[in-house]
Chains A and B, each alone.
Chain A
Amino acid sequence: MSDIAFGRLSEDELEENFADMYPPLDAKTAGIEASRCYFCYDAPCIEACPTGINIPNFIRKIATANYRGSAIDILDENVMGGACARVCPTEVLCEEACVRTAQEGKPVTIGKLQRFATDWLMETGEQPYSQGAPTGKKVAIVGAGPAGLAAAHRLSQQGHDCEVFEAMPKSGGLNEYGIAAYKVPDNFAQKEVDFILGVGGITVHNGKKLGTDVHLADLRKDFDAVFIGSGLGSVQALGLDGEHLDGLHNAVDFISDVRQTGNMAELPVGRRVVVIGGGSTAIDIAVKKKKLGAEDVTLVYRRGPSDMSATSVEQKFAQNNNVRIKHWMQPKAIKTEGDRVTGVEFEYTRLDENGRLFGTGETVIVEADMVFKAIGQVFIPDPVRHEASALELNNAKIVVDENYATSLDGVFAGGDCIDGNIGLTVAAVQDGKLAAAAIGSYLADK
């Protein structure tokens, strides 16, 4: 019998479970933590940050209480420094490279310090950026996610006017609709969007979707350049029967519901939950279900722990939240009773001599009231494949050159939607920033 219910936990319990994952540092602890930084020469942490923030510089400025200088160091390289401070998997980026990791396994907590400095500046209400002297050039940007907003912010500072076309009612991309709620509480994503737009010269058209409401060919005609930062849209299919059953969900849809709901108690929660996947989305959904009161959450991944794209810190985080992680099992069939999901049949897997994954034929059924797919998203190519303005794709994503230029003149792209992107907020910001520089040179030569 399926058991899906609402409000499994009290309001207080929910509030506690979805509070800030890591509380912010206060000025004193930030100062002490900052003084742990050695101010390295040729600092390895800088190289490990996809946006190349000068980490020793910004940390030293925290130590001297030059908080404004610190925040500017961060935001100049990464205008979403606030979001990144909260969502970056620092354990595989800057903090992994920190020399104190090598020394004593305890890196300088760069992410927390970055949050301290950027929060400080945002709380002052100051807008440190402004639009550059007008160039009279106009750039169209598709998608108000990290890539699109980072590009717009830079382009505006160069003096170009930017119009952003965003399909969703709110801007921010996955910062708003995707990332785990406990990483970015208190409506942070929208505050940051407002901060970024505060530079001026950027108009966002929400609810305008490329391919439906606007078309690439028109944008190319009406604007001097186009930047596409539309991210990934659709969720990959399991390739099994019953993918449209009640009780079988896309993790990203549910995560978006969690982010957008005003009342957690209104969200349906199964007693027994199965999550299929091995990335941070799988971790997020599994932990969220647990935090919403599910009794039993099992995360199933078809390979071993080190193959998961979720970092070891994320895996431990899930386990600490009482999520059971099962490896070496792949979904074989969705078990149903009428229209309802009752469980998933998994087949055990192994590697052959050539390191290829194969099913052993042995199966097991894991009972579930709700099943979530978190096996990755794919780029929806339709809007950029219209005859007159078709972009070249590779691995089902947009192909760009080293200047973020697509196969069409004047059309640039960055973020999750381009081939080779690593799928992190910070990487999308870097793409947007570098693409803006490339667009700037393109416009100057035009």
Chain B
Amino acid sequence: MADLSYSFAGIKTPNPFWLASAPPTDKEYNVVRAFEAGWGGVVWKTLGEDPPVVNVSSRYGAVNYNGQRMMGFNNIELITDRPLQINLDEITRVKKDWPDRAVIVSLMVPCEEEPWRDILKKVEDTGADGVELNFGCPHGMSERGMGSAVGQVPDYVQMVTEWCKKHTEMPVIVKLTPNITDVRQSARAAVRGGADAVSLINTINSIVNIDLDVMAPTPTVDGKGAHGGYCGPAVKPIALNMVAEIARDPECKDILISGIGGISDWRDAAEFISLGCGTVQVCTAAMHYGFKIVDDMNTGLSNWMDSKGYNVIDDFRGLATPNVTDWNQLNMNYDIKARINQDLCIKCGLCHISCEDTSHQAITASRINGERRYEVVDKECVGCNLCMLACPVDNCITMEQMDNGKPYMNWNEDPRNPFSTAAE
């Protein structure tokens, strides 16, 4: 059976599944339940200076899709609203009671060296395994000059990381905000500052819905709403891309990554790990279904690794990274065509209408003795995949590679490219 344990920047964890810094990790009660359920670690809900923040009532909003709840989730909560000492005492107890689990403490204090130094000392005294610097929170805290207000300025990221490295021996993980144009800038800053790892993504600036009766965003607080942080399954593609950008950036120098964003099951986790993540963090899925989802994550990942012959996480960690490339490196001579399996086809016509109305008019609709028939016109098919994606029957439409005998040729080498660098 596969060994799921990992040593992440020196932090030992029995499995790569951590709960992200959020309500599930806000207090001892929750964290103990999470450990009982089998989570490998937690990033404690972000601590700040006393007096603690105060939250509003009506805090969460969601995007449902086709009856499926919480495809996307957002919140306007702040960092922990409990006194610092209570949190520190609980962290101390939890770490003592659960020595084999990873306990990381998320921190957010004003952008001055003093407060960071002070809080780091206090966290060290709890016996916690490491700290995560919350440079991501996109609402409330950023308006007070913290969270993403820091994360959006690479120089600040570097400066605060340096302070932290100076004042503690604990591993320092820098949590990045996705609310920037190029996540590599802040990741590079963290690397320059000496970070042991980065974690991403935090939540994305968002308004999930407008309540058309109230004419205000949700969650609505007494008729008004503020932008909140978006997360859940809907953000996974954005998170994967940002992780990949860092994983393949030479200036990020193979920095360790803890992947976050829309992870709900073992497969999501495996995808993040295949892009180089050593651990993954989960928030929304746990808030939706409770802690017991980790059972599927543990057994699912283990079963899949066994089936692939991977013994330890590092056996497949980062295997997909080299295959993430730039568009101009793709093979222009690669040619695929849609193939319809007429025996599986149920005649819904979606392949035809999607291609006909919005793509390349490459699937004809006809009747043969009254029977509907949909057929691909190879000459028109550009191999875009749209029909395959729209078809409701699994494996009914497949994309077949044409053997055109042509060698690999990327856009830089393509004679159709006016700036082609191909040798004449």
**Are A and B bound to each other?**
yes
B-contact 0/1 string along A32-49, CB 8 Å cutoff: 100100111111100000
Chain B residues with CB under 8 A of A28: 67
Known: A35-B67, A41-B365. A102 touches B353 (CB 8 A): no
Chain A residues with CB under 8 A of B66: 32, 35, 63
Chain A residues with CB under 8 A of B350: 38-41
Known: A103-B392, A103-B393. A43 touches B349 (CB 8 A): yes
Q: Select from chain B the residue with minimum beta-carbon distance to A36.
A: B66
Q: Select from chain B the residue with minimum beta-carbon distance to A40.
A: B348
Residue pair A38, B365 in contact (C-beta under 8 Å): no
A40 to B347, CA, bound (A): 8
Residue pair B392, A42 in contact (C-beta under 8 Å): no
Known: A44-B372, A103-B393. A38 touches B67 (CB 8 A): no
Q: Which of A12-67 contact B (CB under 8 A)?
A: 28, 31-32, 35, 38-44, 63
B221 within 8 A of A: no
**Shortest CB distance B211–A (Å):** 14
A39 to B393, CA, bound (A): 14
Chain A residues with CB under 8 A of B347: 40, 44, 99, 102
A-contact 0/1 string along B236-272, CB 8 Å cutoff: 0000000000000000000000000000000000000
**Shortest CB distance A33–B (Å):** 9
B287 within 8 A of A: no
A100 within 8 A of B: yes
**Shortest CB distance B168–A (Å):** 51
Chain B residues with CB under 8 A of A103: 346, 392-393
Known: A103-B392, A103-B393. A40 touches B67 (CB 8 A): no
B-contact 0/1 string along A380-393, CB 8 Å cutoff: 00000000000000
A103 to B352, CA, bound (A): 18
Residue pair A41, B353 in contact (C-beta under 8 Å): yes
Chain B residues with CB under 8 A of A100: 346
A40 to B390, CA, bound (A): 11
A35 to B64, CA, bound (A): 12
B-contact 0/1 string along A84-112, CB 8 Å cutoff: 00000000000000011011000000000
Chain A residues with CB under 8 A of B348: 38, 40-41, 43, 99
Q: Select from chain A the residue with minimum beta-carbon distance to B365.
A: A42
Chain B residues with CB under 8 A of A42: 349, 365, 372
A-contact 0/1 string along B334-355, CB 8 Å cutoff: 0000000000001111101100
Which bucket holds chain A's interface residue count? 10 to 19
For the complex, would chain A's binding face be called helix, strand, loop or mixed by DSSP majority? Answer: helix
**Shortest CB distance B390–A (Å):** 9
A-contact 0/1 string along B272-296, CB 8 Å cutoff: 0000000000000000000000000
A41 to B357, CA, bound (A): 11
A38 to B391, CA, bound (A): 9
**Shortest CB distance A178–B (Å):** 33
Q: Which of B66, B346, B365 has the most CB atoms of chain A within a 10 A radius of its CB? A: B346
Known: A102-B347, A103-B346. A32 touches B365 (CB 8 A): no
A81 to B349, CA, bound (A): 26
Name A41's contact: one of B67, B349, B393 (CB within 8 Å): B349
Residue pair A40, B393 in contact (C-beta under 8 Å): no
Q: Which of B347, B372, B392 has the most CB atoms of chain A within a 10 A radius of its CB? A: B347
A43 to B365, CA, bound (A): 12
Q: Select from chain A the residue with minimum beta-carbon distance to B67.
A: A32
Residue pair A102, B346 in contact (C-beta under 8 Å): yes
Q: Which of B19-70 contact A (CB under 8 A)?
A: 66-67
A28 to B67, CA, bound (A): 8
Chain A residues with CB under 8 A of B365: 41-42
Name A31's contact: one of B67, B346, B392 (CB within 8 Å): B67
B-contact 0/1 string along A57-81, CB 8 Å cutoff: 0000001000000000000000000
A32 to B69, CA, bound (A): 11
A366 to B198, CA, bound (A): 84
A42 to B350, CA, bound (A): 9
A43 to B393, CA, bound (A): 16
Q: Which of B149-190 contact A (CB under 8 A)?
A: none
Q: Which of A35, A41, A99, A102 has the most CB atoms of chain B within a 10 A radius of its CB? A: A41
Q: Select from chain B the residue with minimum beta-carbon distance to A31.
A: B67
Q: Which of B385-424 contact A (CB under 8 A)?
A: 392-393
A44 to B374, CA, bound (A): 14
A32 to B68, CA, bound (A): 9
A35 to B350, CA, bound (A): 15
Chain B residues with CB under 8 A of A102: 346-347
Q: Select from chain A the residue with minimum beta-carbon distance to B356.
A: A41
Q: Which of B343-380 contact A (CB under 8 A)?
A: 346-350, 352-353, 365, 372
**Shortest CB distance A169–B (Å):** 46
A6 to B235, CA, bound (A): 67
Q: Which of B346, B347, B348, B349 has the most CB atoms of chain A within a 10 A radius of its CB? A: B348
**Shortest CB distance B387–A (Å):** 12
A99 to B345, CA, bound (A): 9
Q: Select from chain B the residue with minimum beta-carbon distance to A33.
A: B67
Chain B residues with CB under 8 A of A40: 347-350
**Shortest CB distance A292–B (Å):** 40
Q: Select from chain B the residue with minimum beta-carbon distance to A103.
A: B346
A236 to B346, CA, bound (A): 43
A41 to B390, CA, bound (A): 12
Residue pair A38, B353 in contact (C-beta under 8 Å): no
A74 to B295, CA, bound (A): 47
A315 to B302, CA, bound (A): 50
A100 to B348, CA, bound (A): 9
A28 to B365, CA, bound (A): 35
Residue pair B346, A99 in contact (C-beta under 8 Å): yes
**Shortest CB distance A278–B (Å):** 29
Chain A residues with CB under 8 A of B67: 28, 31-32, 35
A31 to B352, CA, bound (A): 26
Chain A residues with CB under 8 A of B372: 42, 44
Chain A residues with CB under 8 A of B393: 103
Q: Select from chain A the residue with minimum beta-carbon distance to B64.
A: A31
Residues of A within 8 A of B (CB): 28, 31-32, 35, 38-44, 63, 99-100, 102-103
Closest 8 CB pairs of A and B: A41-B349, A41-B353, A35-B66, A32-B67, A99-B346, A40-B348, A102-B346, A103-B346
Task: Name 26 A/B residue pairs within 8 A (Cβ), A-sorted.
Answer: A28-B67, A31-B67, A32-B66, A32-B67, A35-B66, A38-B348, A38-B392, A39-B350, A40-B349, A40-B350, A41-B348, A41-B349, A41-B350, A41-B353, A41-B365, A42-B365, A43-B349, A44-B347, A44-B372, A99-B346, A99-B347, A99-B348, A99-B392, A102-B347, A103-B346, A103-B393
Given A38-B350, A41-B353, A99-B348, 4 additional A-B pairs, CB 8 A: A41-B348, A41-B352, A99-B346, A102-B346
